[in-house]
Chain A
Amino acid sequence: GAVVSQHPSWVICKSGTSVKIECRSLDFQATTMFWYRQFPKQSLMLMATSNEGSKATYEQGVEKDKFLINHASLTLSTLTVTSAHPEDSSFYICSARGSPGYEQYFGPGTRLTVT
C-alpha cells in the first residue's frame, strides 16, 4: 500500500513556542491531505482538510490562526502549532489521498508534548 511519513515522530516544546510537523506521501501524489488530532483514550478528530495549492478547510471549533496548514506540493503538507500551550499536547496524525474515491493512507503520527 501507499506510504505516508511524518516528521518528527515526537516533539517536546516549551509553552509559547511554535512547532512544525511535516507529512509526506512517499510513493504517490496526494491531491488531498488531512490532519487529525487524538487525545488519550479518544478517537481521531478531524482538524482540517487541505488540497494542494489551496487554503485548508478547517473543521468547526479548530482555530485556523493557531493551527497553520500548508499544502505546498503534491507530496508535502505541514501543520504548524503556533504559540503552543499544554492543552495542545496530543497525538497529531496526517493522512493523504490520491484521488477522490481512493482510500486514505495514514502517517504514523506525531506525539506533541508542551511543557
Chain B
Amino acid sequence: DAKTTQPPSMDCAEGRAANLPCNHSTISGNEYVYWYRQIHSQGPQYIIHGLKNNETNEMASLIITEDRKSSTLILPHATLRDTAVYYCIVDSGGSNYKLTFGKGTLLTVNP
C-alpha cells in the first residue's frame, strides 16, 4: 500500500474552514484515498473517501489533485468538537483491503 505524509499538527479557529493536507506521491491507479478521524479515547470515525474525483458529504469535502499525488480534506466550518487526530490512508479497497494507520494530523480547533 502507498504511504502517506501528513503534518503532525494544525490549528484552526472555530467557525473557519480547516484544510488538512495529505501527500501520497506513490499512490497506484486503483487506490482510494480514505479519511478517518479519532477523537480522544474513541474509535476512529469514517469521514470520506475518493478515487480521483472531488467528493463531498455532510461532514467534509475531499479535493484530490489531478495527478492524485496529494489531497486535502476540508471541514467547511470547524467546531470545537472537530478537534481530533485525522488520518489519511490510501488503499485499493480490494479483497485484501485493510486500513493501515500512520501518525495522522492532530487538528486543534480553538475558540
Contact = CB atoms under 8 A, between A and B. Distances in A.
Interface residues of B, number: 22
A45 B99 CA distance: 10
A112 to B, nearest CB: 13
Contacts of A45: 101
A106 interface: yes
B97 A101 contact: yes
A5 to B, nearest CB: 10
Interface residues of A, number: 24
Contacts of A107: 43
Interface stretch (B17-25, B44-52, B63-71, B72-80): B44-52
B103 A93 contact: no
Interface of B: 34, 36, 38, 41-46, 49, 87, 93-95, 97-104
Interface of A: 1, 4, 6, 34, 36, 43-46, 49, 91, 93, 95, 97, 100-101, 103-109, 111
